[in-house]
Structure 1
Amino acid sequence: MFVYKFDVLESLKEAGYNTARLRKEKLLGENAIQSLRQGEMVGIASLEKICKLLDMQPGNLIKYIEDTEECKH
């Protein structure tokens, strides 16, 4: 499964994009913001937008870790 390497919302905030600005400027939708808060993966379009805002590649944001539960099946 994919997990974030760091707190994406905190990094966006440090870059000047607090949640109010993200909503107001329609940079990220409410669902994406809630997913980030809960540590859940966002959709590819939101991931692209985050990469653009933070000037990063997807591999800088997320990493793959083996889900040991799935491997047991």
Structure 2
Amino acid sequence: MANYGENGYIDFSKLWELLEKKELNKQWLKNNGLHSNTVAKLTKNENVTCEVICKLCKLLNCQPADIMEYKRKQL
């Protein structure tokens, strides 16, 4: 789990599930324009820009809710 944010964090587990469903992987993301550092951030549920989310949605023909989910901070 990402260790940041007073208000919680964004979990990208849905992204990895969608990629698996489409028989794609992290290398496919890199081959389609995502920098390896960005893919690493997504893997660790770290902050990425809205532009990255838009690019993922365009590549995967999906909506943001299909690839990410808000998680409340554990108290």
Q: Structure 2 length as normaliser, TM-score? A: 0.59
RMSD of aligned C-alpha atoms? 2.6
Identity %: 25
Gaps of 5+ in 1: none
In the TM superposition, 1:1-73 aligns within 5 A as 1-4=8-11, 6-26=13-33, 28-67=34-73
Between the aligned partners of 1:34 and 1:49, the Cα distance in structure 2 is: 16
Q: CA deviation at 1:8?
A: 1.4
Deviates more, 1:36-45 or 1:4-13: 4-13
Larger-gyration structure (1/2): 1
Q: 1:65 to 1:24 in 2, by over 3 A?
A: closer
- How many residues in Structure 1 have an aligned counterpart in Structure 2? 68
Cα 1:59–1:14 shift into 2, 3 Å: closer
Using CA pairs under 8 Å that are at least 6 residues apart, name the structure with larger relative contact order, 1 or 2: 2
- Aligned AA for 1:58? P
How far is 1:60 from its partner? 3.8
TM-aligned CA distance change 1:14 to 1:4, over 3 Å: same
Q: Could you tell me which amino acid in structure 2 is paired with residue 3 of structure 1?
A: I
